[in-house]
Structure formats: C-alpha cells, structure tokens
Structure 1
C-alpha cells in the first residue's frame, strides 16, 4: 500500500466509519441470518428466544470489535482489558442505579412517588437483555470507536464536547423530549466520555449506562421518553414535572441532572489529577 493510500486507510475518520460499519454490519447479519432464524424456530417462548439472541449479540459485538481493531490497528485492545473488570462492572452499575434510586428516595420523602404494584420477574429476561445490548452498542460505537479515536486525534476536551452533542442527537427524536432532557443527554454523553478517559476501558461507562437505564423501568418510569419498555414496579409519580420528571421519565428531573453533574465533575477531577487528559496536538496525527 503506497503512502497516500496508507494515510487514507488509517485516517481517523476512515477508522471510525469502517469500525462502526463493520461492527454494525456483522451484528445485523448474525442476528438476521443466524441467531434469529435458529432460536425463534427452536424455542417457542419469545421471551427466552429473544433473551438468548440478545446475549449472543453481546458476544458477537465484543468479538467483532476486538478482532477487527486488533487486525486493523495492530495493537493490544486495552479498552476491553479484563483489568478491574468486575470492579468497574459492579461499581458502574451500582453507581448508575443508585443515582436514580436517590432521586426516587427524595420523591418518596416528599410524597411525590408511590408504588402501586409489582409486575413480576419477567422483565429480567428479554427486556433486561435488550437494555444490555442497547447500552453496549452505544458504548462500543460512541466510546470505544468514536471517542477513543477522536480523543487520540484532537484531544480530550474537544472530543468531550463533540461526542456529547453526537450522543444526544439520536435521542432528540425520542418521544416527550424537553429542554431538560436535552441537557441531561449532553451531560450523559459527557460523563461516559470522561469515565472512558479515566479508565481507558468501556466497562465503567457501559455498566453505569446499564444501571441508569435499568433503574428507570425498575421504579416504574418511562425510559428516555419511551413508554412501552415495560416496568418492574408500577408506580405513581405525582408532583411538579421539574422534580418528578416529565413524561420523558425520572431522568428528566432536575434532581437527576444535578446528581449527574456532580458525577461529571468528580470524574473530570480524577482524570485531571491522574494526568489522563489528552491535549490537542500541535500537529494532528492520524495514528494511535
């Protein structure tokens, strides 16, 4: 490969487009031509079949990303390292779930929240597995590919700004979007980016994302404006939208936004103190 083609092939935008395109293409192909035809025909229960299909998709996406970038960039894939895996998965999930749990506690203490009934354990099958693959897809595409490559190219701060906007763009088309939900989405993109900067792995932002998303249907809230994702607790939110969240869900509450802002500042502080921030290079380079 001559030098000009080599520069094009390894240019950051090229790597982003190829990375997302190949990972998404293989995932869709495996789902539509292998896992869905096999398990939807073999298993009569749609819940169980969809659960298996979703977790196979998790394995396919991780393997595709790992071997693609190992071959493409000729490096060790440290962002999928097993270092601190359990700590970051459990810690991230607990942190994401706990923030919204704290919001629910405040609402309960002010009599803005009441549990009506328990929906059962079926949510822990297909619906939960869908949350897992959805969170992983966003973290692989937005953090492991887009954020990682841009951060190494144009530095941490510009990348945080760019990715926060790009991450929120698909969500502005969700139902029941408000100004506060847009602010929430920008902060959400920021906190996942700075978590990646701090750990250099996807596990913490992925687990935080999953815990945050799971807490909403767990407590009976809409999920990012969507009202047909099911719930574990059927609950009544009765109070000002500014506090309880609008029809978008409890993440639209100023309490959720305030707590998330604290997490953003905390991980930004840790990243600065740990010398994890990448500067904008004087001469932009296209290689990692």
Structure 2
C-alpha cells in the first residue's frame, strides 16, 4: 500500500469516521430492512417484537465493530474484552443506579420528592432494551472509539476535553437549559474517565445503563423525555436547581456534583496508577 494512502487510512480522524460509519450503517440497515420486516410479519405485538429487535441490533453493533477493527487494526479488541465483564457489569450498573438514588434520597429528605404509588404497569422490557441500545451506541462510539483513538493520539488530558465537548450535542435534547450544558460537560468528563481507567467500554456502558434506568424508575423524566415509563409514580416539588426540572433528576445540582466527584476520583486513581497517556506526535 502506498505510504501516503496508508497514513491517511490510519489517521485517527479517518479511523473514527470509518469506525462509526460502517457499524452504524449495518445497525440501521439490518434493523430496518431485516429485523423489523421479519418480526413485524410474525407478530403485531410490539411489546414482544421490539425487545427482540433491540437485542439483535445490540449484537450487530458489537459484532460489526469487533470485526471491523480486527481487520482494520489487526489487533486484539481490548476495549471489548470480557475478562472483567461480570465485575464491571454489576458494579457499573449499581454505581449508576445508586448515584441517581442518592440524589433522590436527598430530595426526599428535603421534602421535594413524594412517592405516590409503585407499580410495573407503566414500565416494559421494550423501554429497557431501547435504553440498552441507546447507551451502547453512545458508549461504543464516544468512549470505545473516539476516546480510545484520541487518547492514543493526543494524550489523555486533551482527549478528556474532546470527550466533554462531544457530549454537548445533548444540549438539543428536549427542555435542556443553560445548566444542562454544564451537566453534559461533567457527564463527558466522568464517562471519559470511566473508560480511561479501565480501557474497556463495559464500566461506562453499565454505569450509563444503571443511570438511565434509575431515572424513570423513580418517576423522573429522562433527558427531558416524559414518555420513558416509570415504576415509582412520584411527584417532584421544589427548586428546579434541586429537582432538575423538566430535564429530569440528572439535571439536579446534587446529581451533577456527585457525577463530578466520581470523575475527579477516577482521574486521581488513573494518574496514581499510571493510566494517563501523554501526547505523541503523528505525522501525515
């Protein structure tokens, strides 16, 4: 292969573009032209078919990413290593869920959160598998690809800034406000650190999943969406700075503070353990 072509092909930005385009195209194509037509022809019950379609889409994303970079980089795909999967799955999910729970508990003590009833009638496996796919798309591409490539190219510190800026795309979510911008920057920082510390996507992914599940679980909006179901039917009544307002509990100053502290602790541990990568030069 021509040296110039090889440099362009293996340039980090090129790899990021290809790494997103191919798996995501396969994900969209198989979901819309294979999975949905097939399962919708079998059953009209979306509560049964959609979770199956979501699970297939989940697998398509992982498999296409894995084999793309096995061929592209000719390396072990360590960011998808399952060596510590059980630990990172259980720990990550619990950590994400408990972080939201702590904010809810503070609101309860302040009298800003009231439980009305508890029922699973307003929640379904379909909503959970949708959250699962949405979290994977973000964590596979943002952390497993963008953070990984940029960290090896630009070093950890600059990559963290990039990871923070990438998350500001969420400012276009429903009901987002100026404080949401700060939250998304903090979210990008901490999620980047979850990957930097482990060099695998599983801890940030399961943290993300636990985080997203906890919000509708407690009856909160999720990133501004009010139609994500609920298990605890509740009432939030207090200053928007505390409750998160229409965005949801993730936009609470309490939640953002806890999230920031998690990121700071992880950065400290990563630095202490020599996991902060210095910048290196790549010529093109």
Matched, 1:221 2:184: no
Write the deviation string for residues 203-244 of structure 1: whole angstroms up to 9, x where unpaired. 000001111111110000110111222222221001111111
Write the deviation string for residues 108-155 of structure 1: whole angstroms up to 9, x where unpaired. 112111111234256241000000000000001101111111110001
Quote the residue 1:239 is aligned against.
Answer: 238
Q: Distance in 2 between matches of 1:174 and 1:53?
A: 25
Structure 1 stretches (4+) deviating beyond 4 angstroms? none
Is this contact kept in 2: 1:153–1:285, CA < 8 A? no
Count, aligned residues:
284
SS of structure 1 residue aligned to 2:247:
coil
Is this contact kept in 1: 2:196–2:275, CA < 8 A? yes
TM-score, structure 2 length as denominator? 0.97
TM-score, structure 1 length as denominator? 0.96
Quote the residue 2:177 is aligned against.
Answer: 178
Quote the residue 2:251 is aligned against.
Answer: 252
Matched, 1:274 2:265: no
Equivalent residue runs for 1:39-188 within 5 Å: 39-120=39-120, 123-169=123-169, 171-188=170-187
Quote the residue 1:200 is aligned against.
Answer: 199
SS of structure 2 residue aligned to 1:114:
strand
Q: Distance in 2 between matches of 1:267 and 1:41?
A: 48
Q: Distance in 2 between matches of 1:182 and 1:224?
A: 12
Q: Please give the root-mean-square deviation of Cα atoms over the aligned residues, in Å.
A: 1.2
Q: Distance in 2 between matches of 1:119 and 1:53?
A: 26
SS of structure 2 residue aligned to 1:236:
strand
Q: Distance in 2 between matches of 1:165 and 1:142?
A: 11
Write the deviation string for residues 185-213 of structure 1: whole angstroms up to 9, x where unpaired. 11111111111111010000000111111
Q: Distance in 2 between matches of 1:103 and 1:271?
A: 26
Which range moves more in the overlay, 178-187 or 51-60? Answer: 178-187
Which range moves more in the overlay, 89-98 or 120-129? Answer: 120-129
Quote the residue 1:264 is aligned against.
Answer: 263
SS of structure 1 residue aligned to 2:19:
helix
Flag structure 1 segments of 5+ consecutive residues without an equivalent: none
Q: Distance in 1 between matches of 2:282 and 2:2?
A: 21
SS of structure 2 residue aligned to 1:224:
coil
Q: Distance in 2 between matches of 1:230 and 1:55?
A: 19
* Offset of residue 166 of structure 1: 1.1
